[in-house]
């Protein structure tokens, strides 16, 4: 009987931890990393509930122990429901490096100038650690090239500002028209992990311009590819927007 009721108790606590961790992080009532840690703890209790429940089902085969058998089944089902998503996250995380800072330029990465003034970043270094990050990024993603655009830098920067303002889950926090750069913060995943990003438009070597970008996580040491995907997705969106503007019919004067 003890494993059956222990399974039910573990399942109840696991549900509470998972729900509070996810909801608290999404509503920004608690830090995203703390919410994720609550989720992991809940998942471990869910796994314990699953194991205890299976033992409870085996030990409550006697009809006289029916109430314990029901508790064991509930604990087993709830534990399985919690453990499966965690297993899926673990499988999805395989193959991604322990990397939290991705850039299109190893030698001269775009620099954050205002992100360090945000309270959440005051005790964090925003300096690019090339010796650590470059080998990991090259091994996982190869070289991420900056985006070349045919327009002069001031015009290209206008495209960048418009595209950045239309990206879902992005908030532009600073625009520097002199440096042709902007900074912002993006959120990703069910726990709303935050990543700071900076985009710079620089003159192209043969004319036109190049768009350099860097994206850095605030929490943890890995990002499950979020920063890499952010750069690739933005470059895809920006390239499509520039193409549309070039092919759009011009209004007669």
What CATH number does residue 206 fall under?
3.30.310.80
Question: Domain check: are 110 and 193 in the same one?
Answer: yes
Residue 236 belongs to a domain? yes
State the pLDDT confidence band at 234, using cuts at 50, 70 and 90: very high
Asked if 9 and 107 sit in the same domain, the reply is no
Query: For the chain, percent helix, then strand, then coil, each to nearest 5?
Result: 55, 15, 30
Residue-wise pLDDT for 19-55, tens only, equals 888 888 887 888 888 888 888 888 888 888 888 888 8
Instruction: Flag whether pLDDT at 64 surpasses 80.
Output: no
Domain match, 215 and 114 both: yes
Say whether both 68 and 192 belong to one domain: no
Q: Tokens 């690019």 map to which residue?
A: 128
The total of structural domains in the chain comes to 2
| pLDDT tens by residue, 124-148 | 889 999 999 999 999 988 889 999 9
What is the average pLDDT value for the chain, to the nearest integer?
86
At 103, give phi and psi (nearest 5°): -140, 160
Residue 107, class by beta-carbon neighbours within 10 Å (0-12 exposed, 13-18 middle, 19+ buried)?
Answer: exposed
**129 and 231 inside one domain:** yes
- For residues 117 and 174, state if they share a domain: yes
Q: How far apart are CA 115 and CA 198, in angstroms?
A: 9
In this predicted model, what pLDDT tens digit does every residue of 78-95 receive, in sequence order? 888 888 877 777 777 666
Domain that residue 161 falls in = 101-247
The full DSSP string for 111-158 is PPSSGGGSGGGTTS--S--HHHHHHHHHHHH---PPEEESS-HHHHHH
73 and 105 housed in the same domain: no
In this structure, of 15-29, 156-170, 238-252, the range with the lowest mean pLDDT score is 238-252
Residue 73 CA: distances (Å) to CA of 145, 164, 224, 231: 53, 50, 34, 46
The residue among 162 and 223 whose pLDDT is bigger is 162
Residue 82, both tokens:
């919690």
Q: Flag whether 253 is in a domain.
A: no
Residue 252 falls inside a structural domain: no
């Amino acid at each position: 009987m003890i494993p059956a009721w222990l399974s039910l108790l573990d399942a109840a606590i696991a549900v509470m931890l998972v729900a509070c961790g996810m909801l608290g992080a999404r509503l920004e009532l608690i830090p995203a990393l703390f919410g994720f840690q609550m989720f992991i703890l809940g998942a471990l209790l869910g796994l314990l509930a699953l194991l205890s429940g299976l033992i409870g089902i085996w030990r409550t085969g006697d009809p006289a122990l029916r109430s314990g058998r029901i508790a064991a089944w509930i604990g087993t089902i709830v534990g399985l429901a919690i453990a499966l998503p965690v297993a899926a996250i673990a499988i999805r995380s395989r193959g991604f490096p322990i990397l939290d800072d991705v850039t299109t330029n190893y030698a001269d990465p775009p620099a954050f100038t205002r992100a360090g003034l945000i309270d959440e970043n005051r005790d964090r270094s925003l300096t690019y650690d090339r010796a650590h990050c470059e080998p990991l990024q090259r091994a996982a993603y190869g070289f991420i090239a900056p985006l070349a655009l045919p327009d002069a830098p001031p015009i290209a920067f206008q495209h960048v500002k418009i595209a950045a303002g239309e990206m879902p889950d992005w908030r532009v926090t600073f625009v520097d028209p002199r440096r042709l750069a902007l900074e912002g913060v993006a959120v990703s995943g069910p726990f709303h992990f935050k990543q700071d990003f900076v985009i710079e438009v620089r003159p192209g070597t043969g004319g036109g311009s190049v768009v350099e970008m860097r994206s850095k996580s605030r929490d943890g040491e890995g990002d499950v590819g979020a920063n890499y995907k952010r750069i690739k997705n933005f470059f895809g969106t920006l390239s499509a927007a520039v193409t549309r503007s070039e092919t759009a019919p011009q209004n007669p004067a």
